[in-house]
Structure 1
Amino acid sequence: MNVLNTDVLVIGSGPSGLAAALEAHRNGANTVIVDSFARAGGQYWMQSKYGLERNDRQMQAGANFITNSENLGIKTITDAEVWGILPKYRVFIQQGSRDSIEITARALVICTGAHDFVMPFTGWTLPGVMTAGAGQRYVKMYGKPPGDKIVLAGSGVFLWAVAATIVKAGGKLEAMVESSSNQFRLFSLIGRHPSRWTETRRLLSPVLRSGVQRLNGYRIDYAQGEDRIEAVKLRQVSNSDRDASQELEMETDCLLVSHGFRPITEITALLRCEHQFDTKKGGWYCKTDPETGATSIDNVYAAGEVTGVTGAQSALIEGALAGLGVSEKLGFTRNGIERKRARLMKRQLRTARFADGLAELFELNTNSMPRIDDNTLVCRCEDVIWGDVLKSWDDGAQNLQAVKYWTRLGMGRCQGRICGVAVSRLLANQFDLDPRIFGFNHPRLPLRPVTVNVVHDALARKSL
């Protein structure tokens, strides 16, 4: 097992992670970055090897940050899954079939980001049904769209970003289906934030030029097909009685779905950091000091979407603040830190207002959720259906942990990352309860699947 020692270990190399690492390094702290992707940049700044967006300002901004990090000599370990953290901040990572690496750090900055939040629906496990983020990543990794007749459905401005990526790659979108009907309020919000106009034009222009059919106020009812998806049934979002006139059926070989994002909190939860709940921020998120990024655990900092889904611009600012905060805590200071912190906080207030406005417009509600019945699979890893969850509730399982014990929901490879939040929302809607009362799945070692000998070797090692 290879061993490294550093002052600051940043977990995640998206906008917040790179910003945190750069600030910590510039202040004099020895800094290492680890990331599960093959290249730095995260989902937002993913660097396409096909050059699909080589003239895109978003991708170029990411490339500049990555280049600055490399030129400064910041060590970045990619294709690396963090599977465990032991006391004294001994972090264990696995790089495919290569030897494990143990990194001992004086402080951690957790920048694990967020991933697509998808509510289950009948047919969601059919081949050809993917998250919108997975579809976008597919295009950037392989240089081609994930299907020939793509339907993009769900809610939120991320649908536009995915649509733009697909159209630029020459893909054909059959339709963009948005469950919200707040398009006028969306453009009103953008109009009040001139700094967002260029980004909006970048996202909208290629999609509008493509002439794709846009359906606002429709939700997914169910997907159908034999060996893979063949069609998706859509239903108009309404409080009125549902009748046949409100339904649409579209042929498709690829359905991309996103109902927003949820913070990836497995590492902060494993470290027992304090978490809070807010549906507008994606559900459970890690609580931090807004000026420094400090969590409730000493020498553990967090930034970006893990502290609440508020967008890439907020993540970038939070990362810089966390980099300043962690380096200052470790005794690495330089002139002008307070002035820089004040400037960043002022910018953060502006980005937060915009993020709050978006969250309000696209908050998922009962009427916009996909259709589900007792036979709908809700935990793919353990084959748990919705009827099993309801029975466990009737038997006395009154929180997510109890449902896990009753049904094995959340005991598979993903440890509840996909099903946990969705089932909490479903139960809350079913029984008209606050979803926070269900809590969240508490992660266990290993966080990612690794062989037994890897875990044995790590636990057998003494702290250096």
Structure 2
Amino acid sequence: MQHFDLIILGAGPAGITAALTAARHQLSVALFDENPAAGGQVYRAPAFRVAGKSRNDLKDGDHLRKQLADSPVSLFMGHQVWSVTGDFRVDALGPSGPVHCTSRLLLVASGTTERVVPFEGWTLPGVIGLAAATLLLKSQQTLPGKRTLVAGCGPLLVAVAGGTLKAGGNVAAIADIAGKGSWARVLPAMVRRPDILRQSAGYGLPILRAATPLYSRHTLVRATEQDGQLLAELAPCDAAGRPVSGPRKKILVDCITVGHGLTPATEITRLLDARHHYSRHSGGFVATIDENGKTSRPRLFAAGDCTGIYGAAAAVRQGVVVGLACVSELKGVDAPLQQERQQALKEWQNVCHFGRKMAGMMALREGHTDSITAETVVCRCEDVTRAEIEAASDAGAGDMNQMKAWTRCGMGPCQGRSCGDVAAEILARHRNISREEAGIFSPRTPLRPLTIGQLTGEFDYADIPIPKAAPL
């Protein structure tokens, strides 16, 4: 078993910069991530390289990965963390088998999970999330489909549509729950970020050149199979995401990419019993932290989008802030360290403004779940419908864990990461209680699905040590 000063869980922008910062100040650091290469979703490394093709985010990601490779940070890429204990023992499963490490400090930089508000037909083949489409485009350099509908809300709409067109695909239409006025209100924040403007132009220009139809204030309400393709039905909606009366549009495609924002991945900080609070604007339940990333649990820190959705640029700078806080925790604070921390904190606060605006565009709208029909599956792992969730509520289930026990919602392989936010919204609205009162699923070990065979490896009975018989 290896021991470190600091273990960081998650090698996205925040985790990388925190690791580099702490290592630069002579802390022994271990960085874990289930992906084969560091970078997270935004700076995801492609599975293979194609000559002549490059992206700005790929260059930024390659720069961070090179810094990691040149640093003393111990990298555990391709490792699934399945257990974290209160004394900061981390158990993971990697390509070479189980790994066990302990540390003096723990930093959780676990990122987010994509939210998809269910609709009729959302479980059909060919319907995927916007984040999944991004992964196909960035990592596998594969089109989501030959003819694709992009639907939902937030900046990933533009990124997926523009990325699909740049890769030679066809985008039938973009359906955006937000109205043009909502985007106009975030424009001043975007103007303050020239880097975001350039990035947006890179995705937006292909959309303009292709004259892709854009349906503002429209939500995807149904998808059905038709002759081997998908017939998508769009309905006008109000600002809360509820369908309203008006002409509906039907579009025939072979792929639907849809997403309704992101939810912070907090299963580890919840497992360790840190204090959390609900923030709709921040994406859901988030760990309560101070400006240094400290949670309510001693020696436990959190950084990046798992503490609230602020975007990659903010995560990069917050990683530096929290990395320095970890150094201070173990080595104390001197004048140069304090000055470095103040500069990093100022940079983080400067870029957070735009991230907060984008988070507002992706927040779960309070009326959006009202359009889910009774028969629609909410928990895909256990095939739990909206009607079953509400029936459990009527029978007395007052919070998410009671509802989970009565319906099995959230008991599948994803452990509620995919359905939890929407299921909690349904329960809260049905019982007319706050999301804080509805609560959130209690996390359980193992944090990721794994088999006993993966933990034990290959052996036969001859390999089992048999103790000597006790003397009579």
**TM-score, normalised to structure 1's length?**
0.91
Q: Distance in 2 between matches of 1:52 and 1:172?
A: 23
Is this contact kept in 2: 1:144–1:170, CA < 8 A? no
Match of 1:9 among 7, 10, 22: 7
Structure 1 position 192, deviation (Å):
4.8
Q: Which residue of 2 aligns with 1:297?
A: 297
Q: Which residue of 2 aligns with 1:354?
A: 354
Q: Which residue of 2 aligns with 1:18?
A: 16
Structure 1 position 199, deviation (Å):
3.0
Structure 1 position 35, deviation (Å):
0.5
Larger Rg: 2
Structure 1 position 135, deviation (Å):
0.9
Q: Distance in 2 between matches of 1:25 and 1:335?
A: 19
Q: Which residue of 2 aligns with 1:329?
A: 329
Code of the residue aligned with 2:134 in structure 1: it is Q
Is this contact kept in 1: 2:148–2:257, CA < 8 A? yes
Code of the residue aligned with 1:280 in structure 2: it is H
Q: Distance in 2 between matches of 1:304 and 1:9?
A: 15
Code of the residue aligned with 1:84 in structure 2: it is S
Give me the CA root mean square deviation: 2.3
Three-state SS of the structure 2 residue aligned to 1:177 is strand
Q: Distance in 2 between matches of 1:29 and 1:200?
A: 38
- Structure 2, unmatched stretches of 5+, are 458-472
Is this contact kept in 1: 2:262–2:362, CA < 8 A? no
Three-state SS of the structure 1 residue aligned to 2:97 is coil
Is this contact kept in 1: 2:237–2:244, CA < 8 A? no
Structure 1 position 80, deviation (Å):
0.9
Structure 1 position 22, deviation (Å):
0.5
Code of the residue aligned with 1:341 in structure 2: it is R
Q: Distance in 2 between matches of 1:139 and 1:195?
A: 21
Code of the residue aligned with 1:46 in structure 2: it is R
Structure 1 range deviating more: 133-142 or 403-412: 133-142
Three-state SS of the structure 1 residue aligned to 2:5 is strand
Structure 1 position 256, deviation (Å):
0.8
- Structure 1, unmatched stretches of 5+, are 458-464
Three-state SS of the structure 2 residue aligned to 1:330 is helix
**TM-score, normalised to structure 2's length?**
0.90
Q: Distance in 1 between matches of 2:62 and 2:36?
A: 14
Q: Distance in 2 between matches of 1:358 and 1:87?
A: 34
Q: Which residue of 2 aligns with 1:269?
A: 270
Q: Distance in 1 between matches of 2:20 and 2:295?
A: 20
Q: Distance in 2 between matches of 1:37 and 1:317?
A: 22
Structure 1 range deviating more: 401-410 or 43-52: 43-52
User: 1:47/1:454 Cα in 2 relative to 1: closer, same or farther (>3 Å)?
Assistant: closer
Q: Distance in 1 between matches of 2:191 and 2:151?
A: 25
Deviations 1:139-177 (A, max 9, x none): 223222021111111000121122232222222111111
Q: Which residue of 1 aligns with 2:257?
A: 256
Residue 100 (1) aligns with residue 101 (2): no
Q: Which residue of 2 aligns with 1:166?
A: 164
Q: Distance in 2 between matches of 1:241 and 1:9?
A: 46
Deviations 1:195-217 (A, max 9, x none): 64333323323333333221111
Is this contact kept in 1: 2:113–2:418, CA < 8 A? no
Q: Distance in 1 between matches of 2:221 and 2:447?
A: 34
Overall identity of the aligned pairs, in %: 29
Q: Which residue of 2 aligns with 1:399?
A: 399
Deviations 1:47-68 (A, max 9, x none): 1233489542222112111101
Is this contact kept in 2: 1:120–1:370, CA < 8 A? no
Code of the residue aligned with 2:29 in structure 1: it is T
Code of the residue aligned with 2:169 in structure 1: it is G
